[in-house]
Amino acid sequence: MWKFTPILKHTLWGGSKIAELKGMVDKGESIGESWEISSLAGSVSVVADGVDAGLSILQLIARDKECLLGRRNYERHGDEFPLLVKFIDAEKDLSIQVHPDDAMASMHGHRGKTEMWYVVDAAEGTRICNGFRNRIDKSDYSQMVASGRIMDSLNYIDIAKDDVYYIPAGRIHAIGAGAFLVEVQQASDVTYRVYDYMRRDADGRLRELHVDLASEALDFDDVGGGAIVYDKNDDSAMTLMQTDYFTTQLYRLREEYVRDLRDLDSFVVITLTEGECRIIEGEESRVVAAGDTI
Domain ranges of the chain: 7-233
> How far is Cα 118 from Cα 280, in angstroms, rounded to an integer?
25
Walk along the chain (294 residues) and give the pLDDT tens digit of each residue: 999 999 999 999 999 999 999 999 777 789 999 999 999 999 999 999 999 999 999 999 999 888 889 888 888 888 899 999 999 999 999 999 999 999 999 998 899 999 999 999 999 999 999 999 999 999 999 999 999 999 999 999 999 999 999 999 999 999 999 999 999 999 999 999 999 999 988 888 999 999 999 999 999 988 878 899 998 877 778 999 999 999 999 999 888 888 888 888 899 999 999 999 999 988 889 999 999 999
Give the predicted TM-score (pTM) of the model: 0.95
Task: Give the 3-state secondary structure of residue 108.
Answer: coil
Active site residues: 193
| C-alpha to C-alpha distance for 136 and 218, rounded to whole angstroms | 11
CA distance 68 to 59: 11
Beta bridge mates, 116: 166, 184
Sign of the torsion formed by the C-alpha atoms of 37, 12, 138 and 156: positive
Identify the architecture of domain 7-233 in CATH: Sandwich (2.60)
CA–CA distance, 84 with 245 (Å, rounded to integer): 11
